[in-house]
Structures are given as C-alpha cells and as structure tokens.
Amino acid sequence: MQVSEAEWTDTEKTIARTAFDQAYGREIEALLKQVRADASTLVELSDLWRLHDFLSAKRHQVEGKYDYQYAALPFVFAGLVKDGWLHLQELEGLSKDKLAKINSLANM
Amino acid sequence: MQVSEAEWTDTEKTIARTAFDQAYGREIEALLKQVRADASTLVELSDLWRLHDFLSAKRHQVEGKYDYQYAALPFVFAGLVKDGWLHLQELEGLSKDKLAKINSLANM
C-alpha cells in the first residue's frame, strides 16, 4: 500500500510539501499557545510535573508524526486531516488514488 | 559519618522540619516563577523542547534532593545552604557537631 517517491510528480511534491508545512505550522503554533497559557496558571509543583508529562508525550508524538518520507506521506496526511490540522481540499492536485487513500485512512 | 534518627532530639527534629519545608517552599516557588516567565516567551518548537529538557532535569533533581531521612539530612541541608535555599542561621538550635558538619559539607 506504500507510495514510493517515483510515484509523486513534481507538482504533487510541491502540493505535498506546502500542505505538510502548513499543518506543521498550525499544530506547532497551537501547541506553543497552549503551553504559554497552561504555564501562566502554574501554582503547584504537581502542575509543573503535569506540564512535564504533557511535553514528554507531545515531543514523542510530534517528532514521530512529521516524518517527510514519500512512502509514509499518505499516512501522515490522513492523520493530519483526522486531527484537524489539514483540510483534504489543501491536498487537491494530488492524484485521485492518493486522495482516495488519504481520505479512506482519515476516516478509519 | 551518618546521623541516625536517635541522634536527633525532638527540638532538633522540629527545627529540621521547619528549615526543610522553608527551603523546599522557596525553591519550588522560584522554579514555578521561572517556568511561568520562560514559558511566556516561547516562540519556537526548539524553545519548547528546551523547556522540556529543563523540566526533566529539574524533576530528577528536586525529587532526589528533598529526601527527609534523618541519616541524609546533614547532606540535604548542606546542599540547600550551598545553593542558597537555606541560611545556616535557620538551623540554629541543632547540636554543634551537626552544624559543623553541615557547614563543612556546604563549603566543599
């Protein structure tokens, strides 16, 4: 089910890179905003360790998720659509089979 | 060189507990203040991961440091004096040999 780099046209590569960067930018901006807000309400040590646990989980998740490998991109995009960081319309221009695959994975 | 519980009088135990709690309160309050301030200036993801690294180190350090075992207290107090969270005067009332030991360890 993987889609190797050779199966991506130059136009598709440009669309994919733009969509990837947009989703990344949105998620990171939201994360930074959330941490700034959460941190401003820290009162107790337990709040601080809760923030630490949250950052540990997010770091693991973000570093694993934004992996720009052509073979993995349909899965990455499906996850981003599912989580609301990307709209399927922003991937318009990709081949029909890629879009169908992403859409189907996003609805799983 | 360890000082067992039997070697602490009731008065010394009260002094020790008060000093311990004060130092803990000061360090935690300063830590919370620092994290609130640092977090308010987060701009990039690398800032966030730097904060995460800082919290990982602090958590390890704080959880290891505030160990209320009588045998370990002179070492704990020496560290707190050295790091500025406790003044030696706040331990007045402890026996001369305990104070001398703490002072000597704090100056190492």
B65 interface with A at CB cutoff 8 Å:
no
How is residue B5 annotated by DSSP? G
Q: Residue ranges of the domains in chain A?
A: 5-102
Which residues have C-beta within 8 Å of that of residue A70, sequence separation ≥ 6?
A: A3, A4, A5, A7, A8, A16
A39 interface with B at CB cutoff 8 Å:
yes
**Amino acid, single-letter form, for residue A64:** G
Structure tokens at B92: 């007045």
pLDDT tens-digit readout, A80-104: 999 999 999 999 999 999 999 999 9
Asked if pLDDT for residue A2 goes beyond 70, the answer is no
Could you tell me which residue, A71 or A92, shows the higher pLDDT? Answer: A92
Structural contact between residues A11 and A93, judged by C-beta atoms closer than 8 angstroms: yes
Q: Which residues in chain A touch residue B31, judged by CB atoms under 8 angstroms apart? A: 45, 48
Model confidence band, residue A67 (pLDDT cutoffs 50, 70, 90): confident
Cross-strand bridge partners of residue A94: A92
Span B64-90, average pLDDT = 93
Structure tokens at B48: 């966030």
Model confidence band, residue B1 (pLDDT cutoffs 50, 70, 90): low
A-proximal residues of B, 78-107, CB under 8 Å: none
Written as one string, the DSSP assignment of A40-108 is HT--SHHHHHHHHHHHHHHHHHHHHH----TTTHHHHHHHHHHTTSS-GGGGBTB-HHHHHHHHHHHT-
Model confidence band, residue A46 (pLDDT cutoffs 50, 70, 90): very high
Residue of B29, B47, B52, B56 to mutate for A, most A C-beta atoms under 10 A: B52
Position B6 scores a pLDDT of 81
